[in-house]
Amino acid sequence: MKKFISAFLLATLALVLVACGANDEGSTDEGTSDDGKEETTKLVVGATNVPHAIILEEAQPLLEEKGIELVIEEYTEYVLPNKDLDAGEIDANFFQHIPYLESFNKDHELDLVNAGGIHIEPIGVYSKEYASLEELPEGATILMSNSVSDHGRVLAMLETEGLIELADDIDKTNAEVSDIVENPKDIQFQADYEPALLPQLYNNDEGDAVLINSNYAIDAGLDPLEDAIATEESDSPYVNIVAVRSGDEDKEEIKALLEVLTSKEMQAFILEEWDGSVVPVE
């Protein structure tokens, strides 16, 4: 009797193994899991909240159609997104413009690259007391961020507005306060504030004017088109980009991300959502 049971169990086990082998042979289709569902590629992208994370959220279903699961990792400052990207904690990030990336690479000896431009966030001047730059008094104080890559951008805008004049023999994208050669109103510049703190300084009525990046202004409930007393021209070279590790720009999922983010559908969303205070790249 025991021999009969053992033989029966061995035969049953053999049938199970054959069945498993048959199932394995039947699930070799590329891109298809064992349960017959299409496999997806996971793509983790770091982004600051507004407008970057919101744009990515809108892009999620479009990427899902391409078999890509977009996971958004949100950041509240500008240093960690690049460090985490370099360390492989995320696959890409979306928060910075090209001069900032170039400066960060140089300062931290990294090799992160621009995978493609998405939009421009014109920087603005905000003031609780004055309605225009012309109204700023003699010796007025302007607060600006400690992000050196933004200094040339800000100073070039103020030169365009006629408030200051920069030296002719410099690259104005790299201009510093020391490059000002004409300052008729003796404007005092304080350039040592974290970018995310600038809206709070404005709300606290500190300084005579505050220069705020549009992403932080919008996140704080400000309308760059209505609340700013001056804004950067929309043809600014400071395009916000998707950054990746060198070599990853050729990955199919990164190409798909750029294709979606620059699509007509996403461009229309950006224009409608922010009414011109965030401008998509053509």
In the chain (282 residues long), the average pLDDT of successive 10-residue segments reads: 42 40 37 60 97 98 98 96 98 96 96 97 96 97 94 94 96 93 98 95 97 93 94 85 98 98 97 93 84
- Does 42-121+238-280 match 124-231 in CATH topology? yes
pLDDT at 39: 81
Strand ranges in 121-153 using DSSP code E only, listed in sequence order:
124-126, 141-145
Which CATH number among 2.60.120.10, 3.40.920.10, 3.40.190.10, 3.40.50.2300 corresponds to the domain 42-121+238-280? 3.40.190.10
- In CATH terms, the superfamily for domain 124-231 is Periplasmic binding protein-like II (3.40.190.10)
Are the CB atoms for 83 and 238 separated by under 8 Å?
Answer: no
Angle at 197 between CA 192 and CA 202, to 5 degrees: 100
Are the CB atoms for 215 and 121 separated by under 8 Å?
Answer: yes
Place of tokens 């304080």: 190
The number of angstroms, rounded, from the C-alpha of 26 to the middle of its chain's C-alpha atoms is 43
Place of tokens 């224009």: 271
pLDDT at 38: 65
Reduced to 3 states (helix: H, G, I; strand: E, B; else coil), residue 178 is: helix
Q: What is the pTM of this model?
A: 0.81
Query: For the chain, what are the domain ranges?
Result: 42-121+238-280, 124-231
CA distances from 135 to 32, 142, 165, 198, 229 (A): 66, 13, 18, 21, 10
